[in-house]
Amino acid sequence: MLRLRFIDRVKFVVERQLVKGAGFQLLVVGVFIFLISLVGGLLVIPLGTPFEDVGDAVWWAFLRLTDPGYLGDDVGNWQRFVSTLLTISGYVVFMGTLVAILTRWLIAKMTDLERGLTPVALRNHVVVLGWTNQTLPLLAELLGSEGRVRRFLERHDTSRLRLVVLSENASARQVHELRNEPGIGRRARQIILRAGLAIQPDALHRVACLDAAAVIVPSGAHGPNSLVTSDVETVKALLSIAAQARELAVPLPFVVAEVQDLRKTPVIERAYPGEVEVVAGDATISRLMTQNILHPGLSEVYNELLSSDDGQELFVRSGEPVAGMTLAEVAAQLPRAILLGLLQPGTGGKRWQVRLLAPSDTQVTAEDRLVLLAYDYPDTELDKKAEPLRMIDRPAPEARLPAPEPRTHRMLILGWNRRVMSLMTELASYPSHRFDIDLISVVPADARERDIAGYTGETERVRVRHVEADYMVEGELRRLRPDTYDSVLLLSSDRLASGEEADARTLVGYLQLEDILSEYTRRPQLIMELSDPDNQSLLSANQSEVIVSPMILSHVLAQVALRRELGVVFEELFTEGGAEIQFRDAQDYPLPASVDFQLLQRIVAERGEIALGVFRHAPDSQGRHLMLSPPRRDYLDLQPGDRLVVLSV
């Protein structure tokens, strides 16, 4: 074996000390300073210089090593020569090396702090596990819901909303994104970033999950061939939170978890024994798409309801202040809100029984929850000073008669993503419709057939024909004759690297489709799915209906986290078989020539329905067709083509 030289051994020992961190580095530098001072002191003692002992000589050397200002006090050539060497060594060892070590240590510490590795010392905060395309709109939604946030803080006995986000790579770039996000801006200081993954127990401890008032777990993005999906990571995160709570013997926080596959809901509930609300992301978007296909124009209604921006929202209030009153009596004292129904304590394992469109003579109990449509939360409070509205007598809604012959709806779907399977399931749940679908994608047809069959199984009401083609090629798109379909759906791909790339492809496909349709007189319904909210404004003359998936899911997650009961309300509105928001022709009701909104509500209520507003045929100056909950005394001035927005079964 080759033996090392002595100097190599010394270098190795010094290296092992230096790599241990700033403390050991400073110790090594201190040893060098002591040795240099000792050698310098010993060099000047034999010359008979006026030093009382070795200690004075070493102190003399140390002063010259650390401060060159003492050079002028030295006498004699040798003493001046030694002090000069000490001063030069001081520049190299004391000032250069010491400052370098301290500077590197400070930079490393600042980098660690910026990475967010320090555990937060907070209680009753809101934790968001993951930085995805939904995170920014989710945070903006939480910060923008002032009324709900205020009640949320009151319930948890805290004075300020603090948000903690767990990101795989917390950085200054994400802080910059927060400050530039509309709806956040200066309020970014209320948001704390921490680094880590939701599947890491240490990272969950870093964001203080067990001390949070609510934990939100949005779904992330994974490649189509990845064995680790967002649902797998969600289950692992919930198992880790539950394990930490058992180890520390503390209660579990309330969790709102998004799953991509609705069938994973029982797994989530089994993995987490605490309070958990599951939001099926793919199923939610698929339900909205399906209802929009059946009721063209409905996307504008949901875009207003599912956003904290200017417009009407859904609210849930306790029934305790109005216990003993009927729904008609409560609605008469709500001049700026529409009472949609109530939630009653459920049975058989269900937390709530949803009773939208409940008869107006239904009596409210203290355990019930009222479901209202209003502009802001103060509008949902009883106004006892104002003159009460005329009470409306609304019976139980009339059951829908089954269609004698299911109508066939022809659809053209351009693109492919994981939501197609849940979309097929949702379409098949409507017994009064049949769907004839042509699905165009570059994904191999056999792979698509296998995925759909494994998810939905065989169904007679939905027939799918798979075509392997690229709709970005004009010739292939033209041969499909898109004008012959009832609806054309452009999907945002989940196989590209980012939502911006997916939206770029969708937008170009839409413009190409518009160019082809301009050659025909018949125009189908166009529905476009986007992944980035900023891209919605790129088309100045957009004639399609736009569904921004991250915005919708962010709103649902945020609102359910702040008010848990909203989860069952959204599920009732979005699924087949319960109350739905629909468009109706004004000719379907015995309306007089001139009608205000209060009279319209009374006439619509005779069929057990609730009038919500009007969908204008001609857009206003801002391009909006929808007018929800107009003032009761305002005349509607209905024009040909205008439709009524009602809540019906």
CB 574 within 8 A of CB 291: yes
- CA distances to 171, 333, 358, 399, 577 from 388, rounded to whole Å, are 55, 5, 21, 31, 34
- Secondary structure letter of residue 596 according to DSSP: B
- CA distances to 174, 611, 616, 631 from 644, rounded to whole Å, are 44, 7, 9, 15
CA distance 370 to 270: 30
- Secondary structure letter of residue 532 according to DSSP: -
**If we measure between CA atoms, which residue out of 358, 294, 339, 279 comes closest to residue 581?**
294
pLDDT at 51 over 70: no
Query: 311 by DSSP, 3-state: which?
Result: coil
E strand intervals along 396-477: 407-414, 433-441, 462-468
pLDDT at 1 over 50: no
Average pLDDT over residues 258-281: 86
Place of tokens 């003159």: 387
DSSP per position, 155-175: HTT-SS--EEEEETT--HHHH
Average pLDDT over residues 453-474: 81
CB 257 within 8 A of CB 276: yes
CA distance 171 to 566: 34
Q: Which amino acid is at 445?
A: A
The pTM of the full predicted model, rounded to 2 decimals, is 0.77
Q: Extract the tokens encoding 228.
A: 């680790």
User: Which of 4-18, 142-156, 263-277, 307-321 comes out lowest in average pLDDT?
Assistant: 4-18
CB 612 within 8 A of CB 584: no
Average pLDDT over residues 143-153: 75
Q: What is the pLDDT of residues 194-230, one digit of tens each?
A: 888 888 888 888 888 898 888 998 887 655 555 557 7
CB 416 within 8 A of CB 448: yes
Sequence-ordered alpha helix ranges (H) in 68-145: 77-89, 98-115, 135-144
pLDDT band per the 50, 70, 90 thresholds, residue 370: very high
Sheet holding 126-129, edge to edge: 191-195, 163-167, 126-129, 214-217, 254-259, 276-280
Average pLDDT over residues 153-176: 82
Phi-psi region of 460 (alpha: psi -120 to 50; beta: other; left: phi over 0): alpha
CB 509 within 8 A of CB 530: no
User: Which of 368-377, 546-555, 572-581 comes out lowest in average pLDDT?
Assistant: 572-581
Task: Walk me through the domains of the chain, giving residue ranges and CATH numbers.
Answer: 16-115 (1.10.287.70), 126-274 (3.40.50.720), 407-548 (3.40.50.720)
E strand intervals along 391-478: 407-414, 433-441, 462-468
Q: Which amino acid is at 601?
A: Q
**If we measure between CA atoms, which residue out of 55, 98, 99, 58 comes closest to residue 82?**
58
For residue 494, count other CB atoms closer than 10 A to its CB.
19
CB 259 within 8 A of CB 268: yes
